Amino acid sequence: MANEKDIFERLRNGETIPSNDPHGYKLREASYATKKLLVQMNNSADPAEIRTILSQITNSEIDESVAVFTPLYINYGKHTQIGRNVFINFDCTFLDLGGITIEDNVQIAPKVNLLSEGHPVSPEERQSLMVGPIHIKKNAWIGANATILPGVTIGENAVVASGAVVTKDVPDNTIVGGIPAKMIKSIE
């Protein structure tokens, strides 16, 4: 039976978790544990301490080339991978139960939302949790107040304009903007 597998593994595998799942409580417990670490991290001004706590949150080493301007909000953390020379500006939110991968040299502006989680449209199933991994490839730049939705890949060297809502994959070397985001132009 699928429910015998770890709920976090099920999410990483893209499974929808129904609202009555017997292991659903583990999602909130994990979020509260992450919140304790976030309070510490978001109250620090020391870049090394911020990286150390973020390493605990993500359960992976955060390279010393990574810069994070707090506050940063993450609901779980262990499904987030951050490459080298990544810059994350103030007030970003990462919902990572579906998985978030940020490759090397990515720039993330203030108030960016990376949302690998959502809910079914049907009112009867709306309390269920649906996921889709977000992948931001090398050298991408995500503009201020942009939102990346579940299942989206942002291509290498791509730019997401400020305020965009990205619902579909963005090709390499492309600038997208708007709601929903559409191609503006190619980068030469």
Which member of 23, 79, 119, 135 is catalytic?
119
Contact 141, 175 (CB under 8 A): no
Q: What angle do CA 109, 81, 120 make, to 5 degrees?
A: 80
Q: Left, alpha or beta for 85 (phi > 0: left; psi -120 to 50: alpha)?
A: left
Please give the structure tokens belonging to residue 126. 């709306």
For the CA atoms of the chain, what is the radius of gyration?
Answer: 16
Contacts (Cβ under 8 Å, ≥6 apart) of 42: 70, 71, 72
Annotated active-site residue 79? The verdict is no
Q: Indicate which residues carry an active-site annotation.
A: 119
